[in-house]
Amino acid sequence: MIVPLSWLKEYVEIDITPQELEKKLFDCGFEVETLTQTGGDISGVVVGEVLSLEPIPETHLSVCQVNCGEHGNFQICCGADNVKAGGKYPVALVGAQVYATARDHVTVEGLMKIKKGKLKGFESFGMLCSGIEIGLNEDLYPGADYCGLLVLPEDAPVGADIKPVVGLDDWLFDVSITANRPDCMSMLGIAREVAAALGKPLKMPATDYKTDGTELSGFRVSVEAPDLCPRYSAHYVRNIRIAESPAWMRRRLALVGIRSISNIVDITNYVLKEIGQPMHAFDLRDLTGQQIVVRRAAEGEKIVTLDEKEFSLNPANLVICDGEKPVALAGIMGGLNSGIKDDTADVVFESAKFMRDNIRKTSRALGQHSDSSQRFEKGVDEYATQLGLKRALHLIEELQCGSITETGIAVSENRNPDTTRPLSVSVSKINALLGITIPDDEILRILTNLCFAPQIDGDTLSIQIPPYREDIENAPDIAEELIRMYGYDHIQPTFLAAASVTNGGRNAAQSSLMKLKRVLCAQGLYETIHYSFYSQKDLDLLKLPADAPQRQAIRLLNPISEDLSIMRTMLAPSMVNAVIRNVRRGNDSGRLFEIAKTYHSQEEHPTQEPEEREALSIALFDGGKVSFFDGKAVTEAIADAFRLQFTYRKPEDSEKYPFLHPGMSAELLLDGSVIGWLGMLAHDISDAEVPEHAVFLAELDLTALRPHLLSELHFAALPKYPVVQRDIALLVSEKILCADLEAVMKRSCKSLSSVTLFDVYKGKQITAGKQSLAFSLTFRSDDHPFTDSEIDQFVAKILKNLSKEFEAEQR
């Protein structure tokens, strides 16, 4: 919220610099996002008096001799039509900075520096300026919009800096206001805080007015939806004279970014900014039946707002109606059918409290926002409703633009919104929460400055909460008021002096997850994090059919975009996209993993939190060099690290994995259950997205795996006698699986402690359809040393069984 220093000074005496004030506001909870000076872009412009001027023949230009006081007399060429000898104008001296305007002399096109020039042979030492060129407009300074020179008052001191002369020396504080302090969303609200922080008295704006004694009999206000409108007040003002607002009001509105329209509209805007109360004015002529009804809109009821937009409403929207029809969208914007016109003579002013949530919802649903709706969304208090209306009526009187009648109606449960609320709290409890002791006299000083009328009796602090402080409810609220004014620098660090000692750290499951991550890093993988949402398009990328279970994803009701609209049911699409992104950026190799949640809706219990499962996704790419077995090495590293036995099998239903190479893909099993899959990315996907690249992909269900990651380490005794190794080469059908051969070998001999495949050969040397597999066998005995013949017998038995089961021949 923009707060001009000059406006703030209306309510509180400020004898510190703007920078000091910024610090004060910051310390008590109001961060000033920017502090700028009006006219901050302008420099080197002074008041000049044209002593004489000489027209340059056959041009619109004149050569002026200009007195710039202490800066000297200068010859300046000028083309403005309103330059006169004896007139006083802003003079940009050589080296000055002003705004550059387009040919229309109105549109600002950045800044320019003034240089010595020569026009038609006449030297010119500076520039006489228009209002626009020094950053003014008609609202900030009357006459500033004229496209000739800005005429300065006769008493302007020659040679003086122009800024104080035309009010360009103000400071604008852009104050950030937290959601608990809607009462500070106004000049008065900030002034209260400044007065409290500086210990200065607050000067309230005048709210007195006289009525003309007349009444509008029959004028009625009824509120049919008090839950959405706890207070509605209306006041009838007659004999309206629509005119321009006075310069002081126009200037203030301009400083906070509001364009002046007419006195009546400006008063409503002024009260919004000054008191923080949105106001509205209806033309009484347009109120059928001279009545106001506040009610929920009927289904399909229509309204056209002042900006000529039509809306179709429903009972969730609150409307202000006359005897027949809606005349305003409550708290958001008036209706086109009842606004202030040039010939408006009788006005009903509205000052109401509408519930913030309702205004927010309607405003969002309709996409219709205004200064008023933005203010209501933060919450207004009933006190401001009353204060705002009184202030508006005072301004009517001050601006002499209407005659205030006796007819003022307020509909509210709360008869007296000025009432304070009493609260008693324990001083020691407040100090205990803060951990320091604020002296009683400081407590009294701070709370007095904040208008809480404090009294301390023993340990009891009694206060009267001002009506606008709806945020104050209990002792911690008072503690916060005290410490923000007393200063957070009084807080001295302590180290849980009173707290119990507790046992901290990760639990076993959390530690095992970190171990898993480190195991993957040791395999050269980088950890990645991807968004938890993606789109059906990402599942298309993996060629998943329309009925694939992964498509049963939880959808966001309000996604940022379709690309981020469903919650991930699997991690692989994000991983494939990460590989694609890397390859497109010229990163030719990478080993990546991600551990993240996948989300699965509970069809039977739609209101319950969905099931969140944890998954591990892996991708390896390195040009064409990555193989299935490079990837399997990673899953086996996991098995090794946690002493698990993974088994692998070709997927029973390869259609489940349309994104994997049908010949190079597997399901990963633990204790007989499938807990994941792995394989090479299908050619049709890799060729299209990352040509020349082979990509290994895997995804494991960590929720299923995690209980198995908790195993503890145990030492196994070393062999008592030397182990014996024998190599065998087998000729078997290509269809025989390595794992099946290994299983038979192990079954054939108890002393066989490990079997390792070390060579595979297919080709000319052997029969088509066959493969040669060479295994290294390790035999171990813990009760006697092996003899050669013993080993020979083992091998013979193994070969015999292999031959029986698989027709395997020794090569």
Partner 1 sequence: MEKQIKAMREKIEQAAAAIQDSKEMYQLRKQYLDNKAGQISALMKNMRDLAPEERPAFGKIVNELKTWALDFFTEQDARLKAAELAKKNAAEQIDVTMPASPHTAGALHPNTLIANELIDIFAGMGFTVFEGPEIENDYYNFTALNTPKDHPARDMQDTFYVSPELLLRTQTSAGQIRVMENTKPPIKILSPGKVFRSDDDATHSPMFSQMEGLVVDKGITLCDLQGMLDVFAQNVFGKNVKTRLRPSYFPFTEPSVEVDVSCFSCGGCGCRLCKDTGWIEVLGAGMVNRKVLENCGIDPDEYTGFAFGMGIERIAMLKYGIPNIKMLFESDTRVLSQFSE
Tell me the residue type at 749. C
Report if residue 655 touches partner 1, rule: CB under 8 A.
no
Report if residue 557 touches partner 1, rule: CB under 8 A.
yes
Helix (H, G, I), strand (E, B) or coil at 581: helix
Q: Which of residues 407-466 bind partner 1 (CB under 8 A)?
A: 432-436
Report if residue 526 touches partner 1, rule: CB under 8 A.
yes
526-527 and 589-600: which strand pairing? parallel
Q: Which of residues 298-357 bind partner 1 (CB under 8 A)?
A: 355-357
- Those residues whose C-beta lies under 8 Å from the C-beta of residue 433, and which sit 6 or more positions away, are 475, 476, 479
Report if residue 629 touches partner 1, rule: CB under 8 A.
no
> Distance (Å, rounded) from C-alpha 783 to C-alpha 169?
100
Q: Which of residues 124-143 bind partner 1 (CB under 8 A)?
A: none
Judged by CB under 8 A, the residue of 154, 415, 457, 474 near partner 1 is: 474
Closest among 218, 262, 211, 220 to 238, alpha carbons compared: 211
Stretch that binds partner 1, among 158-166, 365-373, 483-491, 719-727 (CB under 8 A): 483-491
Indicate the DSSP class of residue 707: G
CB of 563 to partner 1, least distance (A): 10
Judged by CB under 8 A, the residue of 102, 308, 502, 767 near partner 1 is: 502
**Judged by CB, which is closer to partner 1: 215, or 357?**
357
Report if residue 491 touches partner 1, rule: CB under 8 A.
yes
Stretch that binds partner 1, among 99-107, 294-302, 524-532, 754-762 (CB under 8 A): 524-532
What are the tokens at 741? 């051969």
Locate tokens 């929460």: which residue?
Answer: 433
Stretch that binds partner 1, among 180-188, 218-226, 269-277, 786-794 (CB under 8 A): 180-188
Closest among 203, 212, 256, 245 to 3, alpha carbons compared: 256
Report if residue 520 touches partner 1, rule: CB under 8 A.
yes
Length of the chain: 811
- Cβ atoms of 86 and 49 within 8 Å: the answer is yes
Report if residue 365 touches partner 1, rule: CB under 8 A.
no
Beta strand residue intervals within 79-159, DSSP E = 88-101, 108-113, 117-119, 122-124, 127-128
Q: Which of residues 598-627 bind partner 1 (CB under 8 A)?
A: 599, 606-607, 609-610, 612
Alpha carbon distances (Å) from 477 to 180, 438, 645: 11, 15, 59
Q: Which of residues 10-39 bind partner 1 (CB under 8 A)?
A: 26-29, 31
Task: State the number of CA atoms in the 13 A half-sphere of 5 facing the CB.
Answer: 22
Stretch that binds partner 1, among 89-97, 248-256, 406-414, 479-487 (CB under 8 A): 479-487
Q: Which helix (H) or strand (E) covers residue 238, if one does?
A: strand 231-238
Report if residue 551 touches partner 1, rule: CB under 8 A.
no
Judged by CB under 8 A, the residue of 592, 668, 682, 728 near partner 1 is: 592
Contact flags string 199-238 toward partner 1, x per CB under 8 A: ----------------------------------------
CB of 383 to partner 1, least distance (A): 18
Report if residue 710 touches partner 1, rule: CB under 8 A.
no
Report if residue 793 touches partner 1, rule: CB under 8 A.
no
Judged by CB under 8 A, the residue of 510, 645, 767, 789 near partner 1 is: 510
> Distance (Å, rounded) from C-alpha 748 to C-alpha 750?
7
**Judged by CB, which is closer to partner 1: 497, or 768?**
497
- Those residues whose C-beta lies under 8 Å from the C-beta of residue 138, and which sit 6 or more positions away, are 131, 144, 145, 250
Q: What crossing angle do the helices spanning 263-274 and 187-198 adopt, rounded to 10°?
A: 40
What are the tokens at 699? 């995804």
Q: Which helix (H) or strand (E) covers residue 166, if one does?
A: helix 162-166
Indicate the DSSP class of residue 305: B
> Distance (Å, rounded) from C-alpha 471 to C-alpha 182?
9
**Judged by CB, which is closer to partner 1: 133, or 377?**
377
**Judged by CB, which is closer to partner 1: 497, or 546?**
497
How many residues sit in the footprint of partner 1 (CB under 8 A)?
91
Judged by CB under 8 A, the residue of 101, 582, 771, 772 near partner 1 is: 582
Judged by CB under 8 A, the residue of 201, 315, 549, 559 near partner 1 is: 559
Stretch that binds partner 1, among 288-296, 417-425, 577-585, 701-709 (CB under 8 A): 577-585
With left for phi above 0 and alpha for psi between -120 and 50, is residue 238 left, alpha or beta? beta
**Judged by CB, which is closer to partner 1: 180, or 753?**
180
**Judged by CB, which is closer to partner 1: 597, or 811?**
597
Judged by CB under 8 A, the residue of 15, 495, 767, 783 near partner 1 is: 495
Indicate the DSSP class of residue 500: P
Helix (H, G, I), strand (E, B) or coil at 9: coil
- Cβ atoms of 752 and 777 within 8 Å: the answer is yes
Report if residue 71 touches partner 1, rule: CB under 8 A.
no
